[in-house]
Structure 1
Amino acid sequence: MHAPGRFRARRLGPGAQAPRWARRPRVAGVRGWLALLGAALAVAAVCAVAVLRPWGAPEPVAPVAVAEGNAAVAASVPPAPLVLEEGARVLVFGDSWVYGSAATVPTLGFAYRLADELGVETVVDGVRGSGYLKPGLDGPAYGERIAALDPALDPDLIVVEGSINDRRLYPAGYRNAVTAAWDALEARYPDAAIVILGPSPQVLPVESPTSSIDTELAELAAARGWWYISPIAEGWITAANYLEVIDTGPIGRDHPSTDGHAYLAARVADAIEAMELQPAIVADAPHDEDPVAP
């Protein structure tokens, strides 16, 4: 556990460059503009055809819903902006990646490093080999572990990570196990904000069940209005940096190295800080600050 501090955004100093993952290619030059013009003309042509041939226009698509228990809930509920006050307590819950496996010492794992990255107090609860379905080496599956959490912990934020350990058991019973675990977590800490951190690829290419788990967790989190972080969708671990992040040796066994944990801590911190910067969505908000009377 780390001492509390102030939530702070890391800002770039004069002359500093943004991290590699924050850079975006720019479209420039005549070819880029010609490509955009061509795309615009193509869209205009399709619209014209749809007007002249209404039978070819697409049918309205109903909002997608996912089943949770016996009820259908909206598949996308905008999450509220994240607010972490000074001295915030953050519970980081997950598997061996949260435990700090393959770091020189577990306390150099990404979950522990978040305390310094974010300037908060962290409480780390990682069990190697565990998942929503799979019991771990040092404890049971997520649901039983959540039931054993101390109600007096009272975290301000909970980050639930993982889990690739369910990939060989997926999909039988997975959605029910996730739903039950998240219901229990909400009931135990009703005042805490919850962020779901999806599985990170331990091997490349990403295994198909791992990708499916990521997609399903994203849908379930969106249905609850929770923030979801997808290291897979955001390309945190690629062929370009895989060996810098993952220790493939007999000790590391495809877990993040010490440097890899430092990298993941920075990425998670960046994602959490971005959530705090998101504007709140207000229903029926006026479009103009100074509306003109008729």
Structure 2
Amino acid sequence: MARRTDGGWPDGPRSLPPRRRRRTRRAFPAVALGAMAVGVAGCLVLLPAVSNACQTVPDATDASANRTASAIARGSDVLIVGDSYTTGRGSYDGTHGWAQDLVAERGWDATIDGVPGTGYVNTGATKSTRWNYLSRIERSESIDPALVIVQGSQNDWLVSADTLERRVEQTLRTAKRQWPDAVVVAIGPSAPQPLARTTTGISDAVAAGARAAGVTYVDALAGRWFTTTNSARYAAPDGQHLNDAGYLYLAGRIDDALEALATPRTREQCA
């Protein structure tokens, strides 16, 4: 169940349009599989016999991946702090964004703290430092999340890169200190094009601050989540936010990023 701190509970299921369904892996065509089987069989004939005794397996000792896998499991307590993208501005009702989609998909017990116009430094229309990310994280100290996601910062375009980097580091260090057993992840600016091109400096500053705090940074710009090709169908009419399809897509990309963090590194195991 998602709890909101921005004005009430989400609408009930009957008021929502069809949302995201679990993605399934696409199967290879039968012809391709047959060709692959022949090719693999041919390769095995050429390999030394000793290779049959070795295989690549997940590294069960990858503590970081194991902690993340536990933190993103169904039913986990999750805190999401963000801006208007977390609130859902641009969606069908203006209050249903990527966070609500991802929480429903994952079955998390989540607190969704989205305030439009805010960031690590920016206070939005409130003009009060009580509403930047640091202050809101400090006020959430009483909860006990297994996963903390801090989204955004594209509203921090009026501050210098050095100021933003320092505030990001301070904010994420505070989250780690308050919840030493939690997995903390920072999601960078994820605007559609052409707005995305203007957030490069912001993304770099947030990445540097996250790195200094020892927090994983998910870089939507480097990953080219929003391109000149797909942005038209994902952008809201204002060009600043996402529409329903865009938030659904963003939820899926963040979901994929979390799954990747929860996948153990592999190692070669030989008999």
Q: Could you state the TM-score of these two structures normalised by the residue count of structure 2? A: 0.70
Q: Which residue does the alignment assign to 1:276?
A: 262
Structure 2 residue 133 is matched with structure 1 residue 142: yes
Give, in whole Å, the separation in 2 of the partners of 1:227 and 1:172.
19
Structure 2 residue 181 is matched with structure 1 residue 191: yes
Instruction: Tell me which of 73, 78, 86 is aligned to 1:90.
Output: 78
> Partner letter of residue 265 of structure 1?
A
Specify the SS of the correspondent of 1:194: strand
Q: Which moved more, 1:184-193 or 1:78-87?
A: 78-87
**Structure 2 CA distance for partners of 1:265 and 1:202, relative to 1, 3 Å:** same
Structure 2 residue 85 is matched with structure 1 residue 101: no
Map of 1:1-40 to 2, 5 A cutoff? 1-2=1-2, 10-12=23-25, 14=27
Give, in whole Å, the separation in 2 of the partners of 1:15 and 1:163.
40
More helix by proportion, 1 or 2? 2
Q: Which moved more, 1:196-205 or 1:91-100?
A: 196-205
Q: Deviations over 1:28-78 (max 9, x none)?
A: xxxxxxxxxxxxxxxxxxxxxxxxxxxxxxxxxxxxxxxxxxxxxxxxxx9
Tell me by how many angstroms 1:145 deviates: 1.6
Do the aligned residues in 2 keep the contact of 1:117 with 1:265 (CA within 8 Å)? no
Tell me by how many angstroms 1:272 deviates: 0.8
Q: Deviations over 1:203-228 (max 9, x none)?
A: 416344x2122123223333444322
Do the aligned residues in 2 keep the contact of 1:91 with 1:157 (CA within 8 Å)? yes
Specify the SS of the correspondent of 1:166: coil
Q: Which residue does the alignment assign to 1:152?
A: 142
Tell me by how many angstroms 1:120 deviates: 2.2
Q: Deviations over 1:221-268 (max 9, x none)?
A: 33444322111111111110111111133xxx5211111111111111
**Structure 2 CA distance for partners of 1:261 and 1:206, relative to 1, 3 Å:** closer
Give, in whole Å, the separation in 2 of the partners of 1:217 and 1:172.
10
Structure 2 residue 227 is matched with structure 1 residue 238: yes
Structure 1's unaligned 5+ residue stretches are 4-8, 17-77
Tell me by how many angstroms 1:128 deviates: 0.5
Instruction: Tell me which of 67, 71, 80 is aligned to 2:64.
Output: 80
Structure 2 residue 216 is matched with structure 1 residue 227: yes
Specify the SS of the correspondent of 1:93: strand
Give, in whole Å, the separation in 2 of the partners of 1:216 and 1:79.
28
> Partner letter of residue 2 of structure 2?
H
> Partner letter of residue 279 of structure 1?
R
Do the aligned residues in 2 keep the contact of 1:162 with 1:200 (CA within 8 Å)? yes
Q: Which residue does the alignment assign to 1:261?
A: 247
Tell me by how many angstroms 1:143 deviates: 1.6
Tell me by how many angstroms 1:106 deviates: 4.2
The one of the two structures with greater contact order (alpha-carbon pairs below 8 A, sep at least 6) is 2
Q: Could you state the TM-score of these two structures normalised by the residue count of structure 1? A: 0.65
Give, in whole Å, the separation in 2 of the partners of 1:101 and 1:83.
30
Specify the SS of the correspondent of 2:191: coil
Superposition CA RMSD, Å: 2.8
Do the aligned residues in 2 keep the contact of 1:79 with 1:226 (CA within 8 Å)? no
> Partner letter of residue 80 of structure 1?
S
Do the aligned residues in 2 keep the contact of 1:202 with 1:246 (CA within 8 Å)? yes
Give, in whole Å, the separation in 1 of the partners of 2:75 and 2:27.
29
> Partner letter of residue 116 of structure 1?
A
**Structure 2 CA distance for partners of 1:205 and 1:95, relative to 1, 3 Å:** closer
> Partner letter of residue 235 of structure 2?
I
- Quote the sequence identity (%): 29
What is the total number of aligned residue pairs between the two structures? 215
Do the aligned residues in 1 keep the contact of 2:79 with 2:110 (CA within 8 Å)? yes
